[in-house]
Amino acid sequence: MTIPNRIHRVLRKGFTGAPLHEPVFQSIERNFVRARWLVKLYYLLSAYTAYSLMSPLHKQARDAVSWDFLWPLFWMPQFDPVRAIGWLTLACFLVALLAFQFPRVLLFRLTFVATFLCVAAVPNSLGGINHGHHGWFWIGVTFLFLPRDAGDASSRAVKMGYLAVLTAAQALLLSFYTMAGLWKISFGILNLLRGAEGNLSPRGFALQLANRVVQTGTDPLLVLPAIDNYWLSWPMFLFVIYAQLTALFVLFRPRLHVVWGYILIGFHLGTWLLMEISFSQHVLFLLMLFVLSPFRPERRSLREAAADLPVFGPLARFALAPNRQVPRSART
Amino acid sequence: MHRDSAYRWRRLLPPLLVVGYIAGLVLLDRGTKAEFFPFFNWSLFPQTTAQRSDWALLIYSVDGQRLDPPRLYYDLKDTFDAARSGDSTLMKLVRRLGAAVQRGDEQSVTDLRRVVEDTFMREAQTVEYELVVVRYDPIVRLRTGVIEGIDFVEPFSKAAAP
């Protein structure tokens, strides 16, 4: 096999779930139906998000006297911010509804992304940027590449193109977690080499939590027990680093999509309980694109999922079924 | 059939999007520690250490009432809304203010101070305060309130609106 053919084969199999054998075609039909519902669901939840932002952004606009407008809002100083932000969130809500009702119309998807970019820029235009809405915005950007489908009558190429776009959204979101894990492990190793306490030291997580509390004076529900019992909380932190670092790998293991969805939701639950940092939009897209992943297998098996675990998969495969062959993963 | 154009280029979208995003991060990095929204490198709480130093605002007086001893902004929960809610936006804003002071960027200092004073100190007419760096062990500070040291960087004051 020539090198270009080999690369082509890897890309088809690895990234898009493209079929290598005829029987896989059936799963394309199933996954396509799921994917279309997920796209509808994304715009439905977008409409909800835009509506739920109306009140807090109105309050923020009323309270803020001076702003540090981000570039998507360069035009805002020409208007009264309270009224302009009110119209902006209303427009975002309405186009999200339109995109929900007519997800095949590129214009509505594009207008939603443009208005959502501006809406997401509003709470970040006070000098500091929070990151709760970044992922949601980038899903919208990815969905701009959806092919115009014809429902069940769509050609196989359109269905596969549709699934490739869903895979792209998953890849981008998982890469965010992998980046977060890379930073944590890099600094952890650096501190180990320096002989200083850091992410990989037993007290590392406790230091991180305590620092967050003293920085902003918050009082998270479980922070004190987690600091006092750092020998228990530290392994959880190491597991979080593992789950984040290997997240992108999970893209290629559909049997892990549901499991990783829940693991990462658990991580965001932890950021609230231990740090009072809320990532509600992340919980939504993890439920949508991973717990309800269009590529999730019909039959669920924890044993098979364990066999796919990044790094520990071969060990789990041996420990759970030393005499039985656990099928290797394949995108279905 | 699957070689049709609807699929042909989209199969490359996952790697292209990830690589494109990272390229965007690198190309749009302006070297000022300021993010280029909506790109972000997801460096969230990457570093932890027992010897922390962090930018903060030390408040000397509010509406003419001197605070003895001076208090950090986030300790004044009865005075400022953002302190009461533990709003981390101000913490990030103060870091940017500190970076702007360090590089001598007068325009940014003026712009960021305006947001600090008009928006995050809107509850008071006049405030005397200073941009400081606090040094501490997080667990010791949490348990005892003890701060190892404070480096004083630049005093500011919010004057009453004319």
Say whether pLDDT at A269 is over 60: yes
Q: What is the pLDDT of residue A20?
A: 43
Confidence of residue B1 (pLDDT cuts 50, 70, 90): very low
**Can you tell me the mean pLDDT for A100-112?**
98
| A50: contact with B, CB 8 A cutoff | no
Which among B129, B132, B162 is positioned nearest to B147, based on CA atoms?
B132
Chain B residues whose CB is inside 8 A of the A179 CB are 41-43
| Domain ranges for chain B | 1-42, 52-158
* 3-class secondary-structure state, position A175: helix
Which is more confidently placed, A241 or B34? A241
What is d(CA B151, CA A119) in angstroms, rounded to the nearest whole number? 38
Q: What is the pLDDT of residue B15?
A: 96
Substitution target in A66, A73, A113, A176 with the highest count of B β-carbons within 10 Å is A66
Q: Which residues contact A130 (CB under 8 A, 6 or more apart)?
A: A123, A124, B88, B89, B92
Say whether pLDDT at A183 is over 90: yes
Substitution target in B3, B4, B7 with the highest count of A β-carbons within 10 Å is B7
Q: Do the chains contact at B48 and A161, CB–CB below 8 Å?
A: no
Which among B41, B35, B57 is positioned nearest to A216, based on CA atoms?
B57
With contact defined as beta carbons under 8 Å apart, do A234 and A206 qualify? yes
For B83, counting Cβ atoms within 10 Å of its Cβ (0-12 exposed, 13-18 middle, 19+ buried), the class is buried
Say whether pLDDT at A77 is over 90: yes
Proportion of chain A above pLDDT 70, given as a percent: 89
DSSP state of B117: I
Tell which A residues from 128 to 147 touch B, by Cβ distance under 8 Å.
128-131, 134, 137-138, 142, 145, 147
Q: Poorest-confidence range of A224-228, A306-310, B54-58?
A: A306-310
What is d(CA A40, CA A48) in angstroms, rounded to the nearest whole number? 13
Query: What amino acid occupies position A252?
Result: F
What is d(CA B75, CA B134) in angstroms, rounded to the nearest whole number? 14
With contact defined as beta carbons under 8 Å apart, do A331 and A254 qualify? yes
Q: Do the chains contact at B48 and A198, CB–CB below 8 Å?
A: yes
Distance, first Cα to last Cα, chain A: 24
Q: Which residues contact B23 (CB under 8 A, 6 or more apart)?
A: none
Of B7, B118, B122, the CB nearest to A160: B7
Q: Which residues contact A202 (CB under 8 A, 6 or more apart)?
A: A230, A231, A234
With contact defined as beta carbons under 8 Å apart, do B36 and A187 qualify? no
Which among B161, B42, B57, B148 is positioned nearest to B101, based on CA atoms?
B57
pLDDT digits (tens, 9 = 90+) for B5-59: 888 899 999 999 999 999 999 888 766 666 899 999 999 988 888 999 999 999 9
Give the H/E segment covering residue B151: strand B149-158
Say whether pLDDT at A118 is over 60: yes
Q: Poorest-confidence range of A33-47, A109-123, B40-54?
A: B40-54
Substitution target in B4, B37, B81, B132 with the highest count of A β-carbons within 10 Å is B37
Tell which A residues from 250 to 309 touch B, by Cβ distance under 8 Å.
251, 276-277
Q: Poorest-confidence range of A5-14, A33-42, A87-96, A240-249?
A: A5-14
Q: Poorest-confidence range of A11-20, A72-81, A135-144, B72-81?
A: A11-20
Substitution target in B5, B41, B47, B122 with the highest count of A β-carbons within 10 Å is B47
Chain A residues whose CB is inside 8 A of the B29 CB are none
Q: Do the chains contact at B91 and A217, CB–CB below 8 Å?
A: no
* Nearest C-alpha in B relative to A191: B49
Q: Do the chains contact at A172 and B5, CB–CB below 8 Å?
A: no
Which among B10, B21, B17, B18 is positioned nearest to A12, based on CA atoms?
B10
Which is more confidently placed, A167 or B30? A167
Distance from CA of A326 to the nearest CA of B (A): 28
Which is more confidently placed, B137 or A305? B137
Q: Could you give the ipTM of this predicted complex?
A: 0.90
pLDDT digits (tens, 9 = 90+) for A205-225: 999 999 999 998 899 999 999
Say whether pLDDT at A9 is over 70: no
Task: Give the CA angle between residues A133, A136, A138 to the nearest 5°.
Answer: 110
**Can you tell me the mean pLDDT for A39-47?**
98
Q: Do the chains contact at A183 and B38, CB–CB below 8 Å?
A: no
pLDDT digits (tens, 9 = 90+) for B106-161: 999 999 999 999 999 999 999 999 999 999 999 999 999 999 999 999 999 998 77
Q: Which residues contact A225 (CB under 8 A, 6 or more apart)?
A: none
Q: What is the pLDDT of residue A302?
A: 82
Give the H/E segment covering residue B54: strand B52-62
Chain A residues whose CB is inside 8 A of the B77 CB are 217
Q: Do the chains contact at A208 and B42, CB–CB below 8 Å?
A: no
Residue spans of alpha helices (H) in A246-256: 247-250
**Can you tell me the mean pLDDT for A178-194?**
95
Q: What is the pLDDT of residue A23?
A: 56
Say whether pLDDT at A305 is over 90: no
Please confirm whether the linkage preceding B162 is cis (ω < 30° from 0). no
**Can you tell me the mean pLDDT for A257-282?**
96
Of B77, B92, B114, the CB nearest to A66: B114
Chain A residues whose CB is inside 8 A of the B136 CB are 214
Q: What is the pLDDT of residue A319?
A: 81
